[in-house]
Amino acid sequence: MAAAVRVYISIGSNVDRERYVKAALDALSAWFGELTISPVYDSEAVGFDGSPFLNLVVGVDTSLPVAELSQRFKQLEADNGRRRDVPKFSARTLDLDILTYGDAVGRIDGVELPRGEILKNAFVLRPLADIAPEAVHPECGKSYGQLWREYSTGQKLWPVNFSWQGRQISSAAG
């Protein structure tokens, strides 16, 4: 069996948000065991006019290949009502994206790694910096903490109260 690698996964929802984020955490926990979970943020929709999203990042250790992870995540999205017959930038029950897979760089099994959104969107970079501030972006060579400190697009996000399995994940106070 291949050695385990650290994988960071973004989770987002702007339809029945709490329900679907919890469903994603339940599934990830069942598949990978212990999760490293960022605070949960409320963020404005980016790319379209829509309801705000809940966003967070989860870290897992796995030996599953990128193709299997991607397939599982697409199936989990579909099982939770995600529609693919709508415009790319539209409301969604659940959105899971592989942000990083160890130090992999390039297109692997159809997935671009590391995901470009890390450097573009506050709702990805901030929660990633929260749980992996010293980890280094495999392309630009800067830590996620440093990238967040240098970030300045004006995208707004706010920490929210969020509990899962009886555990307080985040609070509105930050």
52-81: pLDDT as tens digits: 889 999 999 999 999 999 999 998 988 876
Q: How confident is the model at residue 93 (pLDDT cuts 50, 70, 90)?
A: confident
Q: Tell me the H-state helices in the chain.
A: 17-32, 66-79, 117-120, 122-131, 144-150
Rounded average pLDDT over 149-160: 89
Among 61, 95, 103, 109, the one annotated catalytic: 95
pLDDT above 90: percentage of residues in the chain: 74
Structure tokens at 174: 């930050």
> CA nearest 170: which of 48, 51, 78, 40?
40
Asked if 92 is an active-site residue, the reply is yes
Asked if 19 is an active-site residue, the reply is no
Asked if 126 is an active-site residue, the reply is no
Rounded average pLDDT over 34-53: 84
pTM reported for the whole predicted model? 0.91
Other CB atoms within 10 A of residue 24 CB? 25
Rounded average pLDDT over 12-41: 95
Q: How far apart are CA 43 and CA 51, in angstroms?
A: 9
Q: What pLDDT sits at residue 156?
A: 85
* 173 or 122, higher pLDDT: 122
Backbone angles phi, psi at 17, to 5 degrees: -55, -50
Q: Tell me the H-state helices in 33-132.
A: 66-79, 117-120, 122-131
Work out the burial of residue 81: count CB atoms within 10 Å of its CB; fewer than 13 is exposed, 13-18 middle, 19 or more buried: middle
Q: What pLDDT sits at residue 83?
A: 55
Among 17, 92, 115, 126, the one annotated catalytic: 92
Asked if 85 is an active-site residue, the reply is no
Those residues whose C-beta lies under 8 Å from the C-beta of residue 80, and which sit 6 or more positions away, are 20, 23, 24, 93, 94
Q: Pick the range with the lowest mean pLDDT from 16-20, 125-129, 140-144.
A: 16-20
Q: What pLDDT sits at residue 47?
A: 63
Structure tokens at 60: 């897992």
